[in-house]
Amino acid sequence: MHIHPIASSSEGNCTLITTEKASIVIDAGTPLKQIRPLADTIDGIFISHEHNDHMNGCGVLSRYYRCPIYMHKLCYRICQYKKYIRLGPENLVL
């Protein structure tokens, strides 16, 4: 297993975890250009909570890598209410 801390600040949080079998992103608060050089594929994106610095790039990453986004239902409802991100149900697992 390899853990790649990509960003950890109020401007963005993101960690890429890779194994021989899968690659996942924990929080996606950074632009695609910071993740793309490290991962050819991503199998899933896990969002810890609804702050912008943890999820700002999750929609773009999900569409680019064609992978699901996992988050709690309440987190999704808050995101929809505050209009943080544009997510459709086709790429969400609540």
pLDDT tens track for 28-87: 999 999 999 999 999 999 999 888 888 888 888 998 999 999 998 888 887 777 666 666
What's the pTM value of the predicted model, to 2 decimals? 0.85
Task: Answer yes or no: is 83 within a domain.
Answer: yes
Dist CA 36 CA 23 (whole Å):
12
Task: Answer yes or no: is 89 within a domain.
Answer: yes
Total domains present in the chain: 1
| CATH code of the domain containing 87 | 3.60.15.10
Task: Answer yes or no: is 71 within a domain.
Answer: yes
Task: Answer yes or no: is 60 within a domain.
Answer: yes
Look up the domain containing 86 and give its range. Answer: 2-7+18-93
